[in-house]
A and B are shown apart, each in its own frame.
Chain A
Amino acid sequence: MARVVSISARVKEMTGGLGAFDVEAASVRRLIAELDARYPGLGAHVEANMAIAIDGEIHQDALSAEIAPNAEIVLIPKLSGG
């Protein structure tokens, strides 16, 4: 089970206040599907607006990125720059 963590207040709103929970997912694509199944709308929100740190490394728009069984997943706002 991967551990999903978020510091975002918006994510906590959608999870009913949970800032951390466990998810079974082997890829980002599966993670987003699982988030949507568990908290309707969260997967779509994450896919559209958030980047995902997998064991500390940030991924953006990387649906095929692999997630190890005990990975730490941190949901963070998408990054841009100037």
Chain B
Amino acid sequence: MSDGAAGGRTLKVVGQRPVRPDGADKVTGRAQFGADFHLPGMLTGRIKRSPHAHAKIVKIDTRAAAALPGVKAIVTGANFVLGEGEDIDHGEGATALLDVAINCMAREKALYAGHAVAAVAATSPEIADEAVRLIEVTYEVLPHVIEVEAAMAPDAPLLHANMFTKGVTPKPDKPSNIAQKIVMGRGDVPGAMAAADVVIEGRYETAAVHQGYIEPHACVASAGADGQATVWCSSQGQFLVRTLTAKILGMPLSDLKVIPAEIGGGFGGKTTVYLEPVALALSKQCGRPVKMVMSRDEVFHASGPTSGAVMEIKLGATSEGRITACDLTLKYQAGAFAGSPVNAACMAALACYDIENIALTGYDVVSNRPKVAAYRAPGAPIAAFAVESAVDDLARKLNMDPLDIRRLNGARDGVKAVYGATFRSVAFLETLEAVKNHPHYTAPLGPNQGRGVACGFWFNIGGESTGAVHIDEDGGATVVSSNPDIGGSRAAMAMMAAETLGLPIERVRATVADTTSIGFSGSTGGSRVTFATGMAVTQAAEKVVADLKRRAAQMWECEVDKVEWRDATAFCLDPSKDVKPLTIAQIAGRAARTGGPITAEVSLNAQGAGPGFAVHICDVEVDPETGRTTVTRYTAAQDVGRAIHPSYVEGQLQGGAAQGIGWALNEEYVYGPDGVLENPSFLDYRMPVASDLPMIDTILIEAAPNPRHPFGAKGVGEAPIVPPLAAVANAVRQAIGKRIYALPLSPPRVLEAIEQG
């Protein structure tokens, strides 16, 4: 295989499908996840949570709990003494530290049902549970608000008396639940809309959905008498956990070591902390290790879902299908603290298309729900549901093929996205073309069946990363990464290092280091690791190769530019030297005599991540008697730059599609009139399982490798969750002959639409 971004080299490892390095451990139970750590003398931590959606905490009486034999520590909000105003930029965007701290442990108010108000550590789970029961909290229940537009109303119950809407001029003189108003755009939308031959309008709604990782949040924290502490946990960033936990507890970062566990799914939801500062505060109080594991009920009640939203869209177009204007308003739930992904949603919503006149308005709105956390392509799938549904309606109105109208308006090299980037090396049109040529697109449909297509975009990011390559004494290599592996990054890192070193993949092992064993890295998120950390690992491997050549030259007593490195072997090009090639094992075996261990570590801030475009086809069959929708066939295509390990990339596409199908068809947070979540379990919160879905076909488009990456990689983990909501909705639209504007498309909702005619 030859690769443009790899400088025309023939690649031997990159692009192959070696056995995944984490597979055996995961299927045999040997892998150590967050809940698997045990330490001598370890205590069990439990959290007491608010039963009220919104309440003033009048008093917390812990005396009875403290008197219970076996209870060793109790903490409340009073134990977290963080000041206001500090944001942390941990590689995933700034986080308001005070909000994170108060989300871990409430202070004056409980802001959602499930908000932590106290925690205990005890010698057994049973004693910890009893101690939680014995903690008496006196509440003054306050009016609550759950839905986004109700929270925006001027007379809505206020969550934060000090929240004044940002982005509004003049600065408001009254607080509001609208944390921020975002306005973006270009051109003359009213004028273009007035001149349009066709105008399509719609008002769309999506429900809050959870990332649904199988592994709940879990950690063990151990504080030593000397102030040094260690946390073992499952997260998307050990450095992020260190920063947030240490700052919340007022510790220097150097006093806290965070050891990453194997991670059982994150999807963005593990880019913050919930338990770690609490467990460490408990451990500091009693001097013993404390383990905390959320139940599934706690995961749903208190860890981040993504936003539900209300959206209004208006598209203007010519009679030939050229979209000339778009007016889009996005109202996103943020949960109890500011920070919904509405900003990214505004930027991503229309990025698939070249539209001259655009007006985007976004609202970041707090309400009495758990604070939202990132979820693959944060905010983008929601906005794409509105945009791709409207584009589908436009095609239908103009009697155009839905892929043709997208091709006509599609982003290509040289197009300036509304958010500012000018696209280069993108293959959106090629991806559309591949979908149109796929047999799925023209396969016949049966009765009650429909087909939908939709597109999606994600920026992908770079950022700070560190990677190291050590040559073992026997000539193998160990790759050390700074990022937890949530999507196959150990395999990708090992493959890129093997390719650079010339070693077979079986001789390269990759591992993920703790915070004391490698340089800083931003979290695993934003589809950045294969790009940014891969760049660091490749550069480290290149440094190692340079060192190996230098040592060979030293051993041969020739100039280093007379040494060629090929297939993990040094060849001497100096005709005056009668020497045999030196293998990497021979050089490594004599490392002590040529300068010591052969190793390199590279830290960088990677720029130039290439965006990803996805195009999906979905076939559904709707049961007209029950309203149940079954996905009968699904194909996901994506501009991936260059697939380092195609099986993992295909897995990302399939996983994103599966999650998006669940989002479209069944998943939703259901609240009662008391503001309490009514479906906090996998029994009542219906996620798709393998038997619900067909095999998801994939098409990897490698027409535009990323020129900024040594092997052409683009991030692939987020774009595939963007199209499914609209792809499913468009398919249902065709199957029942009627557009449903709200998700999920659950059987009762679809049946109601059918019965209304």
Contacts and interface: CB of A to CB of B under 8 A. Distances in A.
Interface string A45-63: 0001100010111111110
Contacts of B347: 76-77, 79
B416 A56 contact: yes
A7 B181 CA distance: 14
B484 interface: no
A74 interface: yes
A82 B525 contact: yes
A38 interface: no
A80 B526 contact: yes
B183 A81 contact: no
A62 B424 contact: no
A58 B374 contact: no
Query: Chain B interface mostly helix, strand, loop or mixed?
Result: loop
A59 B268 CA distance: 22
Q: How large is the interface on B (under 10, 10 to 19, 20 to 34, 35 or more residues)?
A: 35 or more
A71 to B, nearest CB: 11
B538 interface: no
A62 B462 CA distance: 11
Contact of A81 (B166, B167, B416, B718): B718
Interface string B405-433: 00000000000101111111000000000
Given A9-B167, A80-B374, A81-B458, A65 B607 contact: yes
B462 A82 contact: no
Nearest to B358: A7
B420 A7 contact: yes
A22 interface: no
Contacts of A56: 416, 421-424
Contacts of A58: 420-421, 459, 607-609
B378 interface: yes
Contact of B377 (A9, A13, A55, A81): A81
Given A81-B458, A82-B718, A60 B463 contact: yes
B421 A74 contact: yes
Interface string B448-476: 00000000001111111000000000000
B420 A80 contact: no
A72 B204 CA distance: 36
A81 B268 contact: yes
A25 interface: no
Interface in B345-403: 347, 374-378
B420 A74 contact: yes
Contacts of A60: 461-463, 605, 607
Contact of A9 (B182, B375, B416, B458): B182
B528 interface: yes
Contacts of B89: 48, 61
A56 B426 CA distance: 13
Interface residues of A, number: 29
Given A9-B183, A9-B184, A57-B608, A81 B421 contact: no
A5 B376 CA distance: 29
B607 A79 contact: no
Nearest to A7: B184
B421 A80 contact: no
A8 interface: yes
A77 to B, nearest CB: 5
A82 B182 contact: no
Interface string B462-503: 111000000000000000000000000000000000000000
B378 A81 contact: yes
Name, among B421, B460, B527, the residue most crowded by chain A CB atoms within 10 Å (CB to CB). Answer: B421
Of the candidates B376, B419, B526, the one having the most CB atoms from chain A within 10 angstroms of its own CB is B419
A82 B607 contact: no
Contacts of B184: 7-9
* Interface pairs A-B: 4 shortest CB-CB: A82-B268, A81-B526, A56-B422, A74-B420
Interface of A: 5-10, 13, 48-49, 53, 55-62, 65, 72, 74-82
29 contacts: A7-B184, A9-B167, A13-B169, A55-B422, A56-B416, A57-B424, A58-B421, A58-B459, A58-B607, A60-B607, A62-B605, A62-B607, A76-B420, A77-B343, A79-B459, A79-B526, A81-B374, A81-B458, A81-B460, A81-B461, A81-B525, A81-B718, A82-B211, A82-B267, A82-B269, A82-B271, A82-B374, A82-B377, A82-B525
Given A7-B420, A48-B94, A76-B419, 19 more contacts: A6-B420, A7-B418, A9-B167, A10-B166, A10-B167, A56-B422, A58-B459, A60-B607, A62-B607, A65-B607, A74-B420, A75-B420, A79-B344, A80-B93, A80-B374, A81-B528, A81-B715, A82-B268, A82-B376
